Amino acid sequence: MMHGQGSGGAPHDTGAGLHTLSLALSLFVFWVLLSGYFTPFLLSAGVGAAIAVAWLARRMAVADREGHPIHFLRAVLFYWPWLLKEIIKSGITVTRIVLSPSMPISPALVRFRPTQHTVTGLVTHANSITLTPGTLTVTAEDGEFLVHGLTVDGANGCVDSDMDRRVRALESDRP
């Protein structure tokens, strides 16, 4: 028997039960959203499937803090709307630049060190930059980002940014 596991193979983790329950609930909600049908048979089949998958995930030790990061839920509920607002603002800015007769494009590359310390934080930050129109994370390695911007101001806006601080706060949100 491995350390930290019982005879059933599931880890003895105080949060494992919460992660398994959250996973089952998330899977059921996903099932309902994809199905769109609310008959008793399909709802009970969805519950059964969600419970079975969550149980298997727990037995495989993937329903854990990394595999199902429910501890980010509260922070994500605040970060995603902010990111959506930034995507819309940047989209409007890029549209104005592209539609302008003078096409004020000044492509630039900037290299900087983000303040995140976890892989999840770094990936979230790099992807958030790329999702924002006018900027693209070219490389994200060795604790350093290389970002291409449609304009110098757009590229420089990624350095020591509000996005960096918000992702850092999201990353450090612990239960």
Note the pLDDT tens digit of each residue in 60-103: 887 776 666 677 777 778 899 999 999 999 999 999 999 998 98
Report pLDDT for 66. 66
Within 10 angstroms of residue 136's Cβ, the number of other Cβ atoms is 17
d(CA 135, CA 157): 10
Domain extent, residue 138, equals 71-171
**95 and 59 within one domain:** no
**19 and 98 within one domain:** no
Domain total in the chain: 2
**136 and 90 within one domain:** yes
CB 173 within 8 A of CB 120: no
Identify the helix (H) or strand (E) that includes residue 29.
helix 16-35
Average confidence (pLDDT) over 103-108: 92
pLDDT band at 11 (very low <50, low <70, confident <90, very high): very low
Of 19, 39, 68, which residue sits at a domain end? 68
Of 68, 92, 118, which residue sits at a domain end? 68
Phi, psi angles (nearest 5°) of residue 145: -110, 145
**61 and 28 within one domain:** yes
Identify the helix (H) or strand (E) that includes residue 86.
helix 73-99
**80 and 18 within one domain:** no
**149 and 125 within one domain:** yes
**106 and 53 within one domain:** no
d(CA 143, CA 114): 7
**59 and 125 within one domain:** no
SS3 (DSSP) at 140: strand
